Structures are given as structure tokens and as C-alpha cells.
């Protein structure tokens, strides 16, 4: 599709960056100066000695600097009018509304940080946060960050095994959860999942439980604590810990090509700068904005763009507890109208599914408050892009398609509102970011040719490492192509105008409704079932979800496949990883294509499944 949508003059006039090409050229001519100037927009206890200490493959930003992201997210607003302004408006599925000014949020964060301290947690300790989309999820994250406790947020849709792996690997001393939460007409229990996950984990000293659903839970006196009881007696003052810029802020687990999710570690200082500026510039954030991001803080989008960046930018963020089509597919549009949302950030999956319900739902609401729309998590097809632009944005709002990853911490390839847009393209790299599309030798490919998306230079919000697995850090990201650049795992093309078109993952990582899942992770859940000998999982293109999950399963000798067994296997995956990982299709097979060294060749299965050419099979064991 060759459409170009030009920016409206009033949008350009109101943009932080009016001339992308100029700013981009300047930023690449002197990236150190560019990032330093942005860092100066934030407050630091002590200025850095060096902007970047780059020792391949590790980049350490703002070394010698002292800061705390909470100082920028909350403390510094306490001296300004922002203190009285709403930081969050939260609406529950049942219509309950909770609001926090920056001042009130700060008090809650201080109370919670004091609870952690009273339980003996200190700088460098780790905490797991397994909470649904309620304000306490954010308060808990900020409370940890404030005193230098490293948080690991686990998405509340994950189940027992997934949670347990993250608690064990992340060495959490404490888990913060809720009794349960409403999900459409059900109640999802979280506390019982935590109980199961930590059954054999003496490392977890306490479980703090927020009351949300009011469901019955097993309460273990001594170990379990009610959030409201422990916070209410605490002081609303708590000093913010002065951290080194290179200290870890959080670990967030994400799926890769092995069964075990990787703990991506982000820093206090570099992450702060990258997250702060990318949302500000891509969404033109200004103090009067009401910003609505539909992600969950359990994912990187939520960390950077629901919690840290919006607060650093002093905007009001709206959060809806539930899903887009509950109680009806007009829910988001109704909320945008009710709260006069100006900036709206969501995922292609949601856009595609809401598009299916027809134009009437958005048309029923006054969406004229909207100024900018955003998309993240997977490639957005031009049809969905245009529908979003026309039916939601009334052709007035730029659609900002932001490409980034858990590892990058900040948006990397994304338009600014002042640039001409091509529906389906994520535009070009953000200022200060040098990207390219290369072949397997690291050589740039010609325009309109598919290749590997790489990032050539370190960037401030780059992850520090893979927790307890530096080898993985090197191998999976920095040694895949031989030119010492960051390998993203995505394939993409650049067109003749230099616009990037992201095609999707080139490894065994799936994107199902924007959720990142590893084939190996799903396979290991299947294989743990007593009937299964071997399993291979692939992603198949899906009109709404982006990808659907198909599993090929070899059963143990003597076991016969049946529909009932398929159902059982689906349940097993749900129980272990979570409902988001439920296979859509399961085929029982006798053999799987493997290399001579025994590795399953999933790409052969995928090609066969999609009726595409199988490609090079020289390493296939059984031709
Ligand atoms: C995909 C999400 C196309 C991509 C922030 C990447 C996208 C993976 C886009 C990271 C986009 C993210 N267009 N694909 N705008 N944004 N992706 O770690 O495959 O959950 O590698 O971070 O999502 O997923 P993650």
C-alpha cells in the first residue's frame, strides 16, 4: 500500500520535534551530547561523570551519576502544582473509580516503601509483584524502586509454573498479590496461585495481599499480610534512596528461544532517560494530557509507558481494569469520551478485534478529545491502521506505531507526530538510535529486501544483562551477526524512503495477541504431561491475534490420541503458563523434523503447515 498521510500543520506546530530529519542527523553526529541534553531535563542527585561507558557488549550509561527514577516520577512534583494534579484515574470493571493526585500517590508509595523496610527489605533485595491491573500494582512498583528494591512484575495472567520460575530465578524475598480479581463474569484467584507457586520456596518470607475481589483465601498467619492493614499504620514520609545510575531498577522476564524465560535487567538512570523522552516526543506529551494506555504493567509497555514515563512527564493516566469488549465492544470508546482522553495507546490485536464489531461502536461516542493514537506489540496491518486512523481518530490523529522490546526498554523505531506517515510502517529510528537491516553476515541489504533488524549503537534504556545468564546476553543478542551489533530477533524491510516495515520475529518467539511466548516454553509445558513424549510448537498467522499456537505432539508408546486428550493438554498448558498460552490446535504425529543433532526444525513444520517452500533442508536428519 502506498499511501502517505501528511501531518496537519497544527500538529507540527504543537510538536516537540518539528523537523525530524534535522534532529535525527544532529543526534547521530553527536549521540553523547544528544542524550546528555535529555538527561538534563530530569533531576539527579549527582551528575554523571561519563554519558556512556561502552565495553562491548555492555553499555553503562551516566556512570558516576546518582539518581532515582521515583525522584523524577514523584518527588520532584511535590514542589510544583503537579502535586495537586491527578496522576491516575482508575476505573474498575464494576464501575468503581479510584483517583490519585501526584501528592496522594506519593503518600501511598511512601507508606508501601515503609512496609517493605519494616519487613527488613533493603536496597538490592528482590520482590515479586503478582498483581492485576489495580492501582496497588503501580504503588508496589514505585515503592520498591524508591528504596532500591529490584522489582519483578509477573503478569497476573500467568499461572503457577510461570510464576514459580520467575520467583525462583528472581530470588524474591517477598511476593505482593491480591486475593483475586474480576475478569468478565468470573473471579480469577491470584492468592491460591501464589500459594501453589511458593509451596516449596522458603526464600519467600512474606506475601502481601491486596483485597480486590473479596474471594475466600487461605491466610497463613505470620507469613501473609493484608496490604490495607500493614500500610495504614505507616508514615507517609520515606526518603528516596540515592541510587547509582547503573544500579538495577527491575527485572522483567520475557520469552526467548529456550524453555526458560530470560530475566531482562533494566537500570535506574539510562532506562529513566530513554523511557522519559521516547513517550514525550512520540506522543507529544503535555501537562494537560489525559493519557490512556491499554497495556498491563505486567509487560514492558506498562513499565515504561503506564508507570515510569507518564509520571516523569507529569500527565494524568487513565487505566481501565478490564478487557476492551466487556461489557460491550464500545467500552473503550465510552471511556475515552467520559474521561476526555487525548492520547490513546493500544495494540494491533485489540484494534483488529474491535474493528470486527463494526464502525458503529466508535461512532456512538464523541471521540473528539483524541489527538494522538499509538500502537505497539506486533506489526499493524495497513487495514487496521487505517480503520484506527479514520474511525477512532476521525482522520485527525497521527497513528504512532512504536517498535520496541522488553530488552530495549524504550521505543526505538517510531514516528513523531510531525512526520508523514505510511500506514503499516513504524517510520524510522528515534533520534539517537542507529538501526539497520542486514543479512546474516551483518551486511546491510538493499531497499525493499527482507533482512534482520539490528541496532548499531548502544542506547540509554538498553538492558544491563540477562539475570544470572551473561552468556545468553552475548549469544542471543550480540553474537548472532558478526558485526558486534544488537540483534533484535525481528525481520524487517526498509523502503526507498528509508521507512521501516517490521515483518515479525525470525526466531522461535511467538506473538499471540501481542503477548510474547517462546515455542520452547510451550513445548516444555506439553512434555511435562505424562502422555507426551515430544512436542513442537509453531505460530500460525491469525487474522486477529496476529499469531495462533499450533502444537505437534508425539505421544508416548501405548497412548492413543483423542479429542479428550487434546483438551487435557490444553488445560495443562493453561495451568502451567496461563490462558494466554493455550494452544489453538494440537496435532498428534509420529515424527518431527529434526536436525542430525536432534534439534526440532520448527521452520520446516511451519512451512509445511502454511504450504510454503520448506527451504534449505540439508541439515534435516530424515529427508
Ligand atoms: C514485536 C513489546 C511490529 C517485535 C514492546 C518485538 C512489534 C517484540 C512492534 C517485542 C511494532 C513490538 N511493530 N512488531 N510496533 N512492537 N513488536 O518484548 O517482534 O513484549 O521483537 O515488547 O514485539 O515484544 P515485547
Any ligand 1 atom below 6 A from CB of 273: no
490 pocket-lining for ligand 1 (C-beta < 6 Å): yes
DSSP 8-class letter at 421? B
* Overall number of domains in the chain: 3
How many Å lie between the centroid of ligand 1 and the Cα of residue 169? 24
Percent of the chain residues past pLDDT 70, beyond the cut: 100
Q: Are strands 262-267 and 316-320 parallel, antiparallel or unpaired?
A: unpaired
The residue whose CB lies within 8 Å of the most ligand 1 atoms, and thus the one to mutate among 302, 308, 405, 437, is 405
Q: What is the per-residue pLDDT across 53-107, written as a single tens digit (0 to 9) for each?
A: 999 999 999 999 999 999 999 999 999 999 999 999 999 999 999 999 999 999 9
488/361 Cα distance (integer angstroms) = 37
Distance, CA of 570 to CA of 355 (rounded, Å): 28
pLDDT for the residue numbered 480: 97
Residue 279 CB–ligand 1 contact under 6 Å:
no
Q: Nearest CA to 451 among 417, 491, 423, 483?
A: 491
Q: What is the pLDDT of residue 615?
A: 80
- Which residues does 558 contact at the CB level (< 8 Å), separation at least 6? none
Q: Is the CB of residue 404 below 6 angstroms from any atom belonging to ligand 1?
A: yes
What's the CA-to-centroid distance between 205 and ligand 1, angstroms? 35
Q: What are the residues whose beta carbons fall under 8 Å from the beta carbon of 102, sequence distance 6 or more?
A: 74, 77, 78, 82, 83, 84, 85, 86, 87, 311, 314
- Determine which residue's CA is closest to atom 20 belonging to ligand 1: 516
- Cβ(521)–Cβ(261) below 8 Å: yes
- Cell matching residue 76: 520532584
Pocket flag, ligand 1, residue 513 (CB < 6 Å)? no
pLDDT of residue 621: 77
Report which protein residue has its CA nearest ligand 1's atom 4.
Answer: 378
Number of neighbours of residue 216 by Cβ within 10 angstroms:
11
Task: Say whether both 61 and 85 belong to one domain.
Answer: no
Tell me: pLDDT of 2 over 80. Answer: no
Output the nine-digit C-alpha cell for 408: 530495549
Give 253-264 as a DSSP string.
Answer: EE--SSSSPEEE
Q: Which of 65, 468, 484 is nearest to 264 (CA)?
A: 468
Q: HEC string of 100-118?
A: EEHHHHHHHHHHHHHHHHH
The Cα–Cα gap between 101 and 169 comes to 36
Any ligand 1 atom below 6 A from CB of 377: yes
Angstrom distance (rounded) from CA 233 to CA 229? 7
> Alpha helix locations (H) across 556-623?
563-576, 602-610
Q: Classify residue 166: in a domain, yes or no.
A: yes
CB of 254 within 6 A of ligand 1: the answer is yes
Whether residue 346 has its Cβ less than 6 Å from ligand 1: no
Q: Which residues pair with 5 in a beta bridge?
A: 421
Tell me the average pLDDT across 138-155.
98
> Dihedral sign, CA of 49, 55, 59, 60?
negative
pLDDT in tens, 271-291: 999 999 999 999 999 999 999
The per-residue pLDDT for range 493-537, each reduced to its tens digit, is: 999 999 999 999 999 999 999 999 999 999 999 999 999 999 999
CB 502 less than 6 A from any atom of ligand 1: yes
CA of 444 to the centre of ligand 1 (A): 22
Is the domain of 96 the same as that of 236? yes
User: Where among 435, 470, 502 does a domain terminate?
Assistant: 502
Q: Tell me if 34 is assigned to some domain.
A: yes
Tell me, yes or no, whether 553 and 587 share the same domain: yes
Q: Do both 170 and 251 map to the same domain?
A: no
Question: Do residues 327 and 407 share a domain?
Answer: yes
Which distant-in-sequence residues (6+ apart) come within 8 Å of 504 by Cβ? 378, 379, 490, 491, 511
Which DSSP helix (H) or strand (E) runs through 189?
Answer: strand 186-189
**Residues in Cβ contact with 559 at an 8 Å cutoff, skipping those fewer than 6 apart:** 531, 565
Q: Give the count of beta carbons closer than 10 Å to the beta carbon of residue 178.
A: 26
Ligand 1 close to Cβ of residue 295 (< 6 A):
no
The rounded Cα 389 to chain-centroid distance in angstroms is 23
Q: Is residue 136's pLDDT more than 80?
A: yes
489 in contact with ligand 1, CB cutoff 6 A: yes
Q: What are the phi and psi torsion angles at 611 (to 5°)?
A: 65, 35
**Does residue 223 surpass a pLDDT of 70?**
yes
Supply the range of the domain harboring residue 547: 513-610
- What is the percent of the chain where pLDDT is above 90? 95
Q: Write down the pLDDT at residue 306.
A: 98
The average confidence (pLDDT) of the chain is 96
Query: What is the band of 623 on the pLDDT scale with cuts at 50, 70, 90?
Result: low
Question: How far apart (Å, rounded) are the C-alpha atoms in residues 449 and 258?
Answer: 29
CATH of the domain at 133: 3.40.50.12780
> Which pLDDT value is given to residue 598?
83
Residue 616: inside a domain: no
Q: Are 478 and 487 in contact (CB under 8 A)?
A: yes
Residue 1's pLDDT is what? 58
Distance in Å, CA 402 to ligand 1 centroid: 8
Question: Quick check: 220 pLDDT over 70?
Answer: yes
Other beta carbons less than 10 A from residue 22's beta carbon? 11
Residue nearest to atom 22 of ligand 1 (CA): 405
- Residue 399 cell numbers, joined: 497513528
* Domain boundary residue, one of 195, 225, 241: 241
Q: Is any atom of ligand 1 closer than 6 Å to the C-beta of 351?
A: no
Task: Check: CB of residue 552 under 8 Å from CB of residue 592.
Answer: yes
pTM of the model: 0.96
Per residue in 287-306, pLDDT (tens digit) is 999 999 999 999 999 999 99
pLDDT exceeds 70 at position 343: yes
DSSP reduced 3-state for 437 = strand
Which CATH number characterizes residue 580's domain?
3.30.300.30
Mean pLDDT value across residues 244-273: 94
State yes or no: pLDDT of 353 exceeds 80.
yes
Same structural domain for residues 275 and 325? yes
Res 259: pLDDT = 78
Q: Let me know whether 270 and 209 are in one domain.
A: no
Q: Are 82 and 154 contacting, i.e. CB atoms less than 8 angstroms apart?
A: no
Supply the pLDDT for residue 622: 67
- Mean pLDDT to the nearest integer, 599-614: 91
CB distance 401 to ligand 1 below 6 Å: yes
- Residue 225 pLDDT: 98
Most informative mutation of 346, 403, 488, 515 for ligand 1 (most atoms within 8 A of CB): 403
Together in a domain, 438 and 531: no
The CB of 511 under 6 Å from ligand 1? The reply is yes
Q: What is the pLDDT of residue 113?
A: 98
- The confidence score (pLDDT) of residue 257 equals 81
Of the three residues 241, 268, 296, the one that is the final residue of a domain is 241
Based on the fold, state whether residues 172 and 299 are members of the same structural domain.
Answer: no
Same domain, 175 and 229: yes
Question: Taking 70 as the threshold, does the pLDDT of residue 409 lie above it?
Answer: yes
Q: How far apart are CA 138 and CA 132, in angstroms?
A: 10
**Residue-level pLDDT at 430:** 98
Long-range CB pairs of 433-440, under 8 A, 24+ apart, other chains included: 433/457, 433/459, 434/28, 435/500, 436/485, 437/492, 437/493, 437/494, 437/500, 438/481, 438/483, 438/485, 440/481
Amino acid at each position: 500500500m502506498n499511501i502517505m498521510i501528511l501531518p496537519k500543520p497544527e500538529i507540527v506546530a504543537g510538536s516537540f520535534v518539528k523537523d525530524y530529519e534535522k534532529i535525527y542527523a544532529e543526534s547521530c553526529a553527536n549521540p553523547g551530547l544528544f542524550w546528555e541534553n535529555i538527561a538534563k531535563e530530569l533531576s539527579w542527585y549527582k551528575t554523571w561523570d561519563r554519558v556512556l561507558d561502552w565495553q562491548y557488549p555492555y553499555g553503562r550509561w551516566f556512570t558516576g551519576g546518582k539518581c532515582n527514577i521515583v525522584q523524577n516520577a514523584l518527588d520532584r512534583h511535590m514542589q510544583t502544582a503537579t502535586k495537586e494534579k491527578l496522576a491516575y484515574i482508575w476505573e474498575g470493571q464494576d464501575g468503581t473509580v479510584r483517583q490519585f493526585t501526584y501528592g496522594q500517590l506519593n503518600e501511598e508509595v511512601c507508606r508501601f516503601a515503609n512496609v517493605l523496610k519494616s519487613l527488613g527489605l533493603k536496597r538490592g533485595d528482590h520482590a515479586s509483584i503478582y498483581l492485576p491491573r489495580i492501582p496497588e500494582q503501580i504503588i508496589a512498583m514505585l515503592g520498591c524502586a524508591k528504596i532500591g528494591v529490584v522489582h519483578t512484575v509477573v503478569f497476573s495472567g500467568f499461572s503457577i509454573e510461570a510464576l514459580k520460575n520467575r520467583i525462583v530465578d528472581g530470588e524474591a524475598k517477598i511476593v505482593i498479590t491480591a486475593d483475586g480479581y474480576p475478569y468478565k463474569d468470573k473471579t480469577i484467584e491470584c492468592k491460591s496461585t501464589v500459594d501453589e507457586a511458593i509451596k516449596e520456596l522458603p526464600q519467600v518470607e512474606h506475601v502481601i495481599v491486596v483485597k480486590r475481589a473479596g474471594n475466600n483465601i487461605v491466610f497463613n498467619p505470620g507469613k501473609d499480610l493484608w496490604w490495607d492493614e500493614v500500610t495504614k499504620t505507616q508514615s507517609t514520609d520515606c526518603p528516596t534512596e540515592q541510587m547509582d545510575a547503573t544500579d538495577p531498577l527491575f527485572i522483567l522476564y520475557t520469552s526467548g528461544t529456550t524453555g526458560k524465560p530470560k530475566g531482562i535487567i533494566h537500570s535506574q538512570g539510562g532506562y529513566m532517560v530513554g523511557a522519559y523522552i521516547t513517550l514525550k516526543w512520540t506522543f507529544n506529551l503535555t501537562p494537560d494530557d489525559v493519557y490512556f494506555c491499554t497495556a498491563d504493567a505486567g509487560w514492558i509497555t506498562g513499565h515504561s509507558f503506564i508507570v515510569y514515563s507518564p509520571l516523569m512527564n507529569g500527565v494524568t493516566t487513565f487505566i481501565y481494569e478490564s478487557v476492551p469488549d466487556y461489557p460491550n465492544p464500545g467500552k473503550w470508546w465510552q471511556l475515552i469520551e467520559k474521561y476526555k482522553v487525548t492520547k490513546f495507546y493500544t495494540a494491533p490485536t485489540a484494534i483488529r478485534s474491535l474493528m470486527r464489531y463494526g464502525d458503529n461502536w466508535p461512532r456512538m461516542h464523541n471521540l473528539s478529545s483524541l489527538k494522538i493514537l499509538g500502537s505497539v506489540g506486533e506489526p499493524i496491518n495497513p487495514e487496521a491502521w487505517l480503520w484506527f486512523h479514520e474511525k477512532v481518530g476521525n482522520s485527525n490523529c497521527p497513528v504512532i506505531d512504536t517498535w520496541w522490546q522488553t530488552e530495549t526498554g524504550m521505543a526505538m523505531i517510531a514516528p513523531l507526530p510531525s512526520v508523514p506517515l505510511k500506514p503499516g510502517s513504524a517510520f524510522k529510528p528515534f533520534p539517537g538510535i542507529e538501526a539497520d537491516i542486514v543479512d546474516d553476515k551483518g551486511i546491510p541489504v538493499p531497499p525493499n529486501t527482507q533482512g534482520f533488524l539490528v541496532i548499531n549503537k548502544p542506547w540509554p534504556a538498553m538492558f544491563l544483562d540477562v539475570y544470572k545468564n551473561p552468556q545468553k546476553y552475548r549469544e542471543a543478542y550480540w553474537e548472532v551477526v558478526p558485526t558486534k551489533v544488537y540483534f533484535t530477533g525481528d525481520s524487517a524491510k526498509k523502503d526507498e524512503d528509508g521507512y521501516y516495515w517490521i515483518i515479525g520475529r525470525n526466531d522461535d518467539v511467538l506473538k499471540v495477541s501481542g503477548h510474547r511466548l517462546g515455542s520452547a516454553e510451550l513445548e516444555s509445558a506439553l512434555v511435562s504431561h505424562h502422555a507426551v513424549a515430544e512436542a513442537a510448537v509453531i505460530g500460525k498467522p491469525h487474522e486477529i491475534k496476529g499469531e495462533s499456537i499450533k502444537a505437534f505432539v508425539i505421544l508416548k508408546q501405548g497412548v492413543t490420541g483423542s479429542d479428550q486428550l487434546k483438551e487435557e493438554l490444553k488445560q495443562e498448558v493453561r495451568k502451567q503458563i496461563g490462558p494466554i498460552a493455550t494452544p489453538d490446535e494440537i496435532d498428534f504425529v509420529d515424527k518431527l523434523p529434526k536436525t542430525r543433532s536432534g534439534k526440532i526444525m520448527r521452520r520446516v513444520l511451519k512451512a509445511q503447515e502454511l504450504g510454503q517452500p520448506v527451504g534449505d533442508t540439508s541439515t534435516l536428519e530424515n529427508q
